[in-house]
Amino acid sequence: MSDGNDDINLNERPVFFAELRPHRSLGRKGHLIFFLVAGALTIAHMAVFLISGAWPIMMFFGADFLILFMAFWFNNRAARARELVALSRTSILVRKLAPSGRETAHDFNPFWARFHVSRRREVGITDMAISGQGRRTDVGGFLHREDRERFATEFAGALARVKRGH
């Protein structure tokens, strides 16, 4: 989450702004190191089986490496998703940017909007949504537990302040 308003163009300054992004534990450098090590091990194992005369086994190692690479590629592509949530005195704007580049925007009146948080005791927040005027949109479904808790607390507090007129 960030506190800037770079990507949201509103008529008035937002009271609350958050850019939600999925968490990924490995960065670019981590992926590079991981694939260099995995590639070296794959080539070493392929060489052992080639030398021992079991060359058909080499294809399985190559397929395993390709499957591993594709899994990481899809995971990194999914990490490009983000949601921008801006709350001003007159509007709640939620912009969702899919990994494919498709964008959807949802606009709510803060005085009619409700912020729904579903919790389970052993897990924490399982679902967050904003609804109002017959429409509903989920928010932050890809966040991990701590970020969901922090976002829910901050957004609910900001929405309550706007509704009170502060």
In the chain, domain spans: 16-24+82-164, 28-78
Q: What are the start-end ranges of the H helices in the chain? A: 28-51, 56-78, 145-164
pTM above 0.75, yes or no: no
pLDDT of residue 17: 95
- Residue 89: how many CB atoms within 10 A of its CB? 16
What are the b/e assignments for 141-156, b being 16+ CB within 10 Å? eebeeebbeebbeebe
pLDDT of residue 88: 93
Backbone angles phi, psi at 46, to 5 degrees: -65, -40
Looking at CATH, the fold of the domain delimited by 16-24+82-164 is given as: PH-domain like (2.30.29)
What is the rounded average pLDDT of the residues 99-128? Answer: 92
Q: What's the pLDDT tens digit per position in 36-61?
A: 999 999 999 999 999 999 888 888 98
Specify whether the CB–CB gap between 76 and 25 falls below 8 A: no
Instruction: Please check the confidence at residue 3 and state whether its pLDDT lies above 70.
Output: no
Instruction: Please check the confidence at residue 133 and state whether its pLDDT lies above 70.
Output: yes
For residue 38, give the H/E element and its range. Answer: helix 28-51
